[in-house]
Structure 1
Amino acid sequence: MNLQELTELVQQNNIQRVDLRVTDLLGRWNHFTVPPKALDDDLLENGNGFDGSSLRGFQEIHESDMLLVPDPESAVIDPIPAQPTLALVCNVIDTVTRDRYSRDPRNVAVKAEEYMKSTGIADEAFIGPELEFFLFDDVRYQQTPQAAYYEIDSVEAHWNSGSGDGPNLGYKIAGKEGYAPLPPFDDTADLRAEIVSTMNACGIDTFVDHHEVATAGQAEIGVGKNTLLRQADVAQWYKYLVRNIARQHGKVATFMPKPIYGDNGSGMHTHQSLRKGGEPLFYD
């Protein structure tokens, strides 16, 4: 996608804000927002300045000036903000050397793909992650000089079988018995459906969604294979959409690996396919 195509996208969708996004070294997505008029050749070539010392794992304060250069191919109309917003994932550039920043996770992905090709092992690699998460109804935690605790809750969890807060309709899921039941046991099916349709509208290919093994709203949405760089962008969109749509419905999503003692945790199994000359290398 070039500047003209981006400009047409802005005009056709009445875009009011352009969101520049960057992943820090520990994986958190961060953003800086500019007006649509800032979307020009200078932004695409020279980027937008930001404080690299304030993002985790990046620069020291005495060398904090860095640049965000948008990747035009990453353009997506963000369905979450109240105002029409165009999101662009950015590459991090060192202001001194003008090279790609070594600790930019996107650059790490690019170099990994380039190294694979340079070895001659494979021409292309496809990655397919399986991201699992929980959808909780309530999360409380405290760490103070005189107290430390956490508490999570879910309407479908088995520990609420005797709850007296309002009508208790039953339909609870026992620990380790949550794999793929139909509603009314699967309390988050409609929420997942909305997440899936939103992902599809953002260009994310999905092929399945279901309740996972644990109680308390554990879920998985399967996404199609992609190259390492593009799949990394998809994973960030995946988590962003799940968290925000859950919040819109009064729930909180977490990708923590083990939030519930004694029940299944959430993983991210990752399928890999290497090909050379169009032939799969793992096929026997």
Structure 2
Amino acid sequence: MTPREVLALCRQNEIQAIDLRFMDFPGTQKHFTIPVKALTERSFEDGLTFDGSSIRGWQAINESDMLVVPQPETAMVDPFMKSTLAMTCNIQDPITRKDYARDPRNVARKAEAYMKSTGIADVANFGLEPEFFVFDDVRFDQNEHEGYYHIDSVEGEWNRGSAKADSNRGHRIRRREGYFPMPPGDTLQDLRTEIMLICQACGVEIGGQHHEVATGGQCEVDLQFGPLLQSADNLLRFKYIVKNVAAKVGKTATFMAKPLWNDNGSGLHMHFSLWKQGHTLFAGSGYGGLSELALHAMGGILKHTPALFAFCCPTTNSYKRTVPGFDAPVNQTYSFRNRSAAIRIPVHASSVETKRFEYRCPDPTCNPYLAMSAVLMAALDGIQNRIDPGLPLDKDIYDLSPEELADFAKVPSSLGEALLALRDDDGFLLRGDVFTEDVIDTWIWYKQTHEVNALRERPHPWEFAMYYDM
């Protein structure tokens, strides 16, 4: 869409409000709204000002003024707000008019540009599988003298003995038996279908939807593959739709990696492939039907996985998911078919056009612009340096002995460990000025100060169970 076409769309749909959206540094979408008459063709070049010092991890107060620049190709008639058209924006410095280095969307744009400059590929396609939970009620708080959370779900196994009146009496999803149940046990079929239909109406193509493994309302909706920047934009749009569809029916959706203890967490599996001049570069005669280039890309991702975790699993809660026994990858391995490996080569991707591999480590709390850019940069480093991914692991990782597992490197066990790995291994991200040193330094500082240290300082409820009577 061009700016002129966006203005025409506003007239056709009797739009009265323009919602301007962008992504903050840690990964939360922000917005403000202007009347439609304030949007002109010049707005798409001149931008509109906002206070960058009030956005987490961005500007100091003495240089707070920043610009949002609407991107016409992202225009969407908002399905939840009255007479509103939404657009995703790029962030610029109002004096130099340079793209802002800490704008996550700018990092993704630079990653795509760097990939093209190498001559290796001209498109990096990502197909995303976001998982999430839909709960009926959630309460949580933490202060000086108490800390707790409480989650409730009509589907939850813990409600089997509940006296609450509901339409599903007796039909509860057992712990870790939530994969593909039928209604009435699956209470969220209509909700997921509404999410799917609204996504498609808003330009986000969906491959399918289903209930996921965990009890208590775990869902998955698969987004069709597309170029990196478009896929990241679509994931933001998707999360907005999920949260608002849930809210509309009195429920609440979360993309936290591990909201329920002792059950499966939520991942964001990334199906990845590189293309050039309309043809895939990943099909070949190597392991799993992959090309040598694809195997080297895999080698780069596996080599840099500890550093990638800082962006792909970016919360302290992320590491509650990556523990043995809950279908999340815990070793830096790859395999054909094996879903317990960090990288899986899908069996059903047998045709040339669908050949890809699936990076199973990321979770949906990640900032998709940063996470997918980092994965792409690791893959390009693997190709440029012909990094060998090593031998595949085609066994059930969870059944291996400690001696057998010792041959395979483990993924980081905490956000602090992942941040240290990023500090020690950031060279591949700095190429092409994609991730600047300032971006990496600010990311590590913010995560360490506001998340790692914040959690470390607070007592945990289970510590009372373990230690109160010591």
Aligned-partner residue type, residue 49 of structure 1? T
In the alignment, residue 104 of structure 1 is paired with which amino acid?
D
1:70, 1:277 → 2: CA distance?
29
Distance 2:72 2:80 in 1: 20
Q: How does 1:142-153 map to 2 (within 5 A)?
A: 142-153=141-152
Classify the secondary structure of the residue corresponding to 1:41: coil
CA deviation map 1:183-217 (0-9, x unaligned):
01101001111111111110110010000000011
Aligned residue number for residue 173 of structure 2: 173
Task: Answer whether contact 2:70 2:88 (CA < 8 A) is retained.
Answer: yes
1:1-284 equivalence runs, <5 A: 1-81=1-81, 83-166=82-165, 169-284=169-284
Matched residue SS, 2:86? strand
- Rounded to whole Å, the distance in 1 between the matches of 2:41 and 2:29 is 25
May I ask how many residue pairs the two structures share in their alignment? Answer: 283
CA distance in 2, matches of 1:2, 1:147: 53
After superposition, the C-alpha distances for 1:78-119 in whole angstroms (9 at most, x for unaligned) are 1011x1100010000111211111111111001000000111
User: What SS is found at the alignment partner of 2:198?
Assistant: helix
Which amino acid in 1 is paired with 2:206?
Answer: T
Bigger radius of gyration: 2
Which structure has more relative contact order (CA 8 Å, sep 6+)? It is 1
Q: What is the rounded CA distance, in whole Å, between the counterparts of 1:187 and 1:15 in structure 2? A: 35
Q: How far did residue 274 of structure 1 move? A: 0.1
Structure-2-length-normalised TM-score? 0.59
> What root-mean-square deviation, in Å, do the aligned CA atoms of Structure 1 and Structure 2 show?
1.0
Q: Is the 8 A contact 2:208 2:222 kept in 1?
A: yes
Name the % identity: 53
Matched AA of 1:219: C
Q: What secondary structure, in the 3-state scheme, does the structure 1 residue paired with 2:69 have?
A: strand
Structure-1 separation of matches of 2:192 and 2:94: 42
Output the CA distance in 1 between the equivalents of 2:24 and 2:246: 24
Unaligned runs of 5+ in 2: 285-470
| Shift in Å, 1:121 | 1.1
Question: Residues 130 and 221 of structure 2 are in contact (CA less than 8 Å); yes or no, is this contact kept in structure 1?
Answer: yes
Deviation at 1:146, TM superposition (A): 2.3
Following superposition, the deviation at residue 67 of structure 1 comes to 0.4
Output the CA distance in 2 between the equivalents of 1:276 and 1:145. 57
Partner amino acid for 1:139? V
Once the two structures are overlaid, the 10-residue window that deviates more, 137-146 or 239-248, is 137-146
Report the secondary structure of 2:282's partner residue: coil
Residues 4 and 41 in structure 2, CA contact (< 8 A), matched pair in contact too = no
Match for 1:215: what amino acid?
T
Deviations 1:216-260 (A, max 9, x none): 110000111111111111010111110011011111000000010
Q: Aligned partners of 2:56 and 2:175: how far apart in 1?
A: 36
| SS of equivalent to 2:226 | coil
Unaligned runs of 5+ in 1: none
Structure 1 residue 278 displacement after superposition: 2.6
C-alpha separation between the residues in 2 aligned to 1:70 and 1:86?
A: 12
Shift of 1:182: 1.0
Report the Cα offset of residue 12 of structure 1: 0.9
Distance in 2 (CA, whole Å) between partners of 1:150 and 1:250 is 19
TM-aligned CA deviation for residue 120 of structure 1: 1.1
- Comparing 161-170 with 86-95, which one deviates more in the overlay? 161-170
Aligned-pair CA distance for 1:57: 1.5
Which residue identity is paired with 1:138? D
Kept in 1, the 8 Å contact 2:132–2:254? The answer is: yes
Please say if residues 21 and 88 of structure 2, whose CA atoms lie closer than 8 Å, have aligned partners that are also in contact.
yes
Letter in 2 for 1:281: L
Alpha-carbon separation, structure 2, partners of 1:144 and 1:174:
33
2:219 is paired with a residue whose SS is strand
Structure 2 CA distance for aligned equivalents of residues 3 and 100 of structure 1: 19
Q: Which of the pair is proportionally richer in helix?
A: 2
